[in-house]
Chains A and B, each alone.
Chain A
Amino acid sequence: MKNTDDLRRMREMYEAQAVPDGLSEAVESAIGDASVKRTRRAIVHLRRASAIAAAAVATFVLLLNTNPAFAAAMADTPVIGGICRVVTFAKYDRTEKFDHLRVRIPEIADTGDDALENRVNLEIRYQIENELKAARVRAEEYYEAFIATGGKPEEFVPMEIFVDYEIKTLTEETVSFVIYKEESLAAVYGQVFCYNVDLDTGRYLTLRDVLGDSYKQRVLDAIDRRIASDSELAMYVFDSEVDIPSLIDEDRMFYLKDDGKTAVVIFDKYEIAAGAAGRPEFEITIDE
């Protein structure tokens, strides 16, 4: 058995380790770099230090919430109408072994309805957390495949995982925003989430709510109009292979723009058209 004497000798040995000549230089250059960066930095990147320490980052989205420093990330808060706000709940830019995460997660605030906020915000976090988890598993699998096929670890480029949001409409009655998730591995993993909340009732709006009972026909008409006028899109649309009417139900993704005067229906990439068409969007004026 060893004892405190051994510890003391270990400590002596530890302290006797020579430090390299380059240390002072490294320290001074770091101090210099930091000062330059501080003045140059326009965007606040926040990384939660202890989340990095905890190697298991599976639940990191929720962990992020506990850091008061995130108050600083609330800096970009578009205020419109002074009623509801959509703010950045968490924002980080972080490179790990398999992936590079650039994430901005929104939340709604100041609606005056705590239950509504909690419900919507938790759902957003849950959804993004699941997406990120799946994406990170793919990144790791991709890394393993890369190595298994003779790739060198130092040549591996971490997979980009990107989450961001856009506010589309914010009025006293309605908030509409879209969350985008993209992965550099393949565009097919791109994902969109639309949130349209009626701030009076606290309900999510459906296409039927905004376009009336004839919503299906109105969306189909809009698609037809676009195809007739946009020859490029017409070329890519799978109009004979896909039963487009069956894809338009009440829960079809859409957002509201022009202060809620226009509904924009979105289809995922490859859903109704070739990938080259991107993520097709069709606008329908609400008050016809």
Chain B
Amino acid sequence: MTEELCDFIRENRESFYRLAYSYLKNRDDALDAVHDAIVTAIEKSATLRSAGAMRTWFYRILVNTCLMKLRRLGRETLCRWDIPDATADVTDAETLDLMRAVAALEPKYRTVIVLRFFEDMSLREIAEVTGARLSTVKTRLYRALELLQIEL
């Protein structure tokens, strides 16, 4: 299982980093969070039930690590989201504004948006990652979309 887990981690490291960055908005803190989440995951790999559950299980650890770091840094209210080195053709002002609006959301709303639309998770998977009930995740998603003024 550990070998499989390490492969999974190596393959998805960029996603992990982006997710961590979406919380911490700082390169070093995001790298730290990815590092800590990996250490925790490997240490606890015995509690992983099946390889199929690996993805949501790992994201859960990562999200928790980021939230814990955020609290420790006391940086919950910081709402800048610089998009470092993003290629010019995808950086239009309107989208950047929307990204900043996502970054300004409370973490519980931001998590749902990032996991659903950027990481392609189903609502059920998001429920597993966040440890919330499916109905709660749905409510948070609608509320987040409302806050961002997005209509699907």
- Which residues from chain A sit less than 8 Å from chain B, CB to CB? 1-4, 6-7, 9-20, 22-24, 26-27, 29-31, 33-35, 37-38, 41, 49-50, 52-55, 69, 95-97, 153
Contacts and interface: CB of A to CB of B under 8 A. Distances in A.
A69 B81 CA distance: 37
Interface in B34-54: 34-36, 38-44, 47
B148 A96 contact: no
Contact of B90 (A13, A20, A49, A50): A13
A284 B63 CA distance: 55
B86 A18 contact: yes
A14 B131 contact: no
A17 B35 contact: no
Interface of B: 6, 9-10, 13-14, 17-18, 21-22, 27, 31-32, 34-36, 38-44, 47, 60-61, 63-64, 67-68, 71-72, 74, 83-87, 90-92, 94-96, 98-99, 102, 114, 117-118, 130-131, 148-152
A29 B85 CA distance: 25
A8 to B, nearest CB: 9
A17 B13 contact: no
4 smallest beta-carbon distances between A and B, as pairs:
A34-B42, A30-B38, A50-B131, A18-B85
Which one of A12, A37, A41, A49 has the greatest number of beta carbons of chain B within 10 Å? Answer: A49
Contacts of B31: 20, 22-23, 26
A96 B38 CA distance: 20
Contacts of A22: 31
A96 B72 CA distance: 6
Given A33-B39, A35-B42, A27 B87 contact: no
B71 A17 contact: no
A49 B40 CA distance: 10
Nearest to A47: B40
A24 B10 CA distance: 8
B64 to A, nearest CB: 5
Contacts of A7: 117, 150
A69 B152 CA distance: 40
Given A10-B95, A12-B90, A26-B31, A52 B149 contact: no
Contact of B118 (A14, A20, A50, A52): A14
A16 B87 contact: yes
Nearest to B116: A7
Nearest to A6: B98
A26 B72 CA distance: 21
Given A19-B17, A31-B42, A50 B35 contact: no
26 contacts: A1-B149, A4-B152, A10-B99, A10-B117, A13-B86, A14-B22, A14-B99, A16-B86, A17-B18, A17-B86, A18-B86, A19-B17, A22-B31, A26-B34, A30-B34, A30-B35, A30-B36, A31-B42, A33-B35, A34-B39, A37-B39, A37-B43, A38-B42, A49-B40, A53-B63, A53-B131
B29 to A, nearest CB: 12
A204 B64 CA distance: 41
Nearest to B151: A1
A3 B130 CA distance: 25
B143 to A, nearest CB: 15
